[in-house]
Structure 1
Amino acid sequence: MNQNSKFSVRDICYAGLFAAVIAVMAQISIPMPLGVPMTMQTFAITLAAVVLGSKLSAIATLVYLLLGAVGVPVLANFSGGIDKFVGPTGGFLISFPIMAYIIGLGVEHRDAFKGAFPVAVVVGTVVNYIVGVILFVIVAHSTVSVAVSACVLPFIPTAIIKAVLACVLGLNIRKRIPGVKKA
């Protein structure tokens, strides 16, 4: 992203491109018993954060969420609408821009602070889980232990795999695209 506060046409195109990537990856979805599907959204969010950095990936994620909120069928299972944000998976959706921003900060500061990048990936993912679990508990009138069993534990192995793949792929893409500060 450009160093000044204005976004270039290139920045806007990258944000739009990654909003589309998130929308496509959201359609790769495996239904789970308690209503929280396993999707590739978090892979796409992490990939966007690694490639675009904090601000631009958060914007790409917000664009994706705004499209979904107004009813464009970009969310998992070709769904959309504001009701998705107050349902059992709403917390995960709401936390995506925060997740992207945190992971993006890690990639931006990985040379200055050794270990910042992996820590940021873990923290971003944990924030996603925490917000997701909180809203699940509220909406589903569930206990925290049921929410963790439904929303976190089954996803940990794939979350690790998706995070590693998104980071490796993202760092390679980041090196090759013009206009993005090299990590």
Structure 2
Amino acid sequence: MRRESRLSVTDVCYIAIMAAVTAVLAQIAIPMPMGVPMTMQTFAVTLCGILLGSRKGAVSMVIYLLIGTAGVPVFSAFTGGVQCLVGPTGGFLVSFPVMAYLIGLGVEWKKKGAFLIFLLLGTAFNYVAGVLFFVVTMDSTVWAALTACVLPFLPTAVLKAVLASIFGLQLRKRLQPFLLY
């Protein structure tokens, strides 16, 4: 079976919708002491990977990053611009396409347990990239980065991943006739 490399108008619309959903959910944020806010972006990225699959999910997140990089205030706290990608939270942002891709792969694989593995891989990649950027941009230790970027977020990360998975997998079933992978 040949995989179509072109995106249909419907694909483009779904990609744009998920980029917009990510922009909206980025504004649901709780400021944290070390400058890394707790947002709903990862919920949106997980949902994006589940609904759009690996390739289109990654494209949607690239579009989101390009819009934000161009200066449109789509990142947390209505911020935008290149400085967001090279600052302390930039690693989290730039990991979104890979995170969506990995989660999408998990949905596309029909083997039992693959989704959970790829969900964990995508989330882990998000945290690793976020910690690395934080260490470099803040001239910080790995321990300080873990306490600022990972430890306070683990309980909500699990909750967001579970809720996005439940909601996303149910929505995916209902949208299956319209989502062409």
TM-score, with normalisation over the residues of structure 1? 0.95
User: Aligned with 2:6: secondary structure?
Assistant: coil
What is the aligned residue count?
179
Question: Tell me, which stretches of 5 or more residues in structure 1 are unaligned?
Answer: none
Deviation at 1:180, TM superposition (A): 1.7
Counterpart secondary structure, 1:32: coil
Distance in 2, Cα, partners of 1:181 & 1:78:
33
Superposition deviation, residue 172 in structure 1: 1.1
Q: Which residue of 1 aligns with 2:172?
A: 174
Distance between the aligned counterparts of 1:127 and 1:119, measured in 2?
A: 12
Give, in whole Å, the separation in 2 of the partners of 1:32 and 1:147.
13
* Deviations 1:62-98 (CA, angstroms, capped at 9, x unpaired): 1111000000000000000000001000000010000
Distance apart, 1:3 and its partner CA? 3.7
1:91-110 equivalences under 5 Å are 91-109=91-109
SS at match of 2:45: helix
- Percent of aligned positions that are identical: 56
Structure 1 residue ranges (4+ consecutive) displaced by more than 3 angstroms after TM superposition: none
Q: Which runs of 5+ in 2 are unaligned?
A: none
Distance 2:75 2:3 in 1: 32
Rounded Cα–Cα distance in structure 2 between residues aligned with 1:180 and 1:14: 9
Q: Which one-letter code corresponds to 2:19 in the other structure?
A: A
Give the match for residue 60 of structure 2: 60
Q: Map Cα deviations across residues 16-73 of structure 1 (whole Å, 9 max, x no partner).
A: 0000000000000000000000000000000011111001110111111100000000
Structure 1 residues 57 and 80: CA distance shift in structure 2, 3 A: same
Cα offsets for 1:141-178 (capped at 9, x unmatched): 00000000000000000000000100111111111223
Once the two structures are TM-superposed, the CA of residue 181 in structure 1 deviates from its matched residue by 4.9
The residue identity in structure 1 corresponding to 2:51 is V
Alignment of 1:76-91 (within 5 A): 76-91=76-91
Moved more, 171-180 or 29-38: 171-180
User: What does residue 37 of structure 1 align with?
Assistant: 37
Q: CA RMSD in A?
A: 1.2
Q: What is the CA–CA distance in structure 2 between the aligned matches of 1:181 and 1:117, rounded to whole Å? A: 19
Pairs within 5 Å for 1:64-75: 64-75=64-75
**Residue 118 (structure 1) aligned to one of 96, 116, 119:** 116
- Could you tell me how far apart the structure 2 residues matched to 1:176 and 1:16 are? 19
Q: Amino acid of the residue matched to residue 86 of structure 2?
A: V
